Amino acid sequence: DLSGSIATPDVKLNLGGEFVKESTASTFLRQRGYGWLLEVEDDDPEDNKPLLEELDIDLKDIYYKIRCVLMPMPSLGFNRQVVRDNPDFWGPLAVVLFFSMISLYGQFKVVSWIITIWIFGSLTIFLLARVLGGEVAYGQVLGVIGYSLLPLIVIAPLLLVVGSFEVVSTLIKLFGVFWAAYSAASLLVGEEFKTKKPLLIYPIFLLYIYFLSLYTGV
């Protein structure tokens, strides 16, 4: 007499060195070519990057560039060329937005106007620099002009204090504009301009005068 039984094959999977018994449904799917439905993708480490790294925001780099702009004297030992040679977008944008916020006085349309002046003013400086023979990229000009608004932000609280003293207020405004223009011009106006430096320094100076007028005239 012949007797016996048909049993479900005992299939085991090797996962990470451990054998795990596979269910009947899993075996059924694999036997009919649908095993790919059971595959699990490994987590990609690149998908777990921090948000700042994903957006390419380096806070230490931004802080160092801020110090370079606020203290433009070569004797202080800062490598100021990093502001020009390693441009970023988020740092200057944050500075421009902060300058816009302190210029508001309840008028939110000023924010978009200041950002527009930053973008197109930087474009004008870039075109002038290229025409004069300067080797500079638009991203570099955009970063330098944006970061160099910091001196105008620094003098803003002083203007609130001495606003009633017209002479002192005017001197502080001139100091802030010269400070900002010097920080930007010392980075953008290189030796390649030679005798043409005033042709680029002058529009940079006018651009920061206009930025200051947006703050004081809102």
* Domain spans of the chain, in order of start: 59-216
| pLDDT tops 80 at residue 45 | no
Residues pairing with 12 in the sheet = 21
pLDDT score recorded for residue 6: 52
Dihedral angle computed from the Cα positions of residues 197, 203, 207 and 212, in that order, rounded to the nearest 10 degrees: 80
Residues pairing with 104 in the sheet = none
Contact 151, 215 (CB under 8 A): no
- Strands of 3-51 (E only): list them: 12-15, 18-21
Q: Radius of gyration of the chain from Cα atoms?
A: 31
pLDDT score recorded for residue 123: 92
pLDDT score recorded for residue 213: 82
pTM of model > 0.85: no
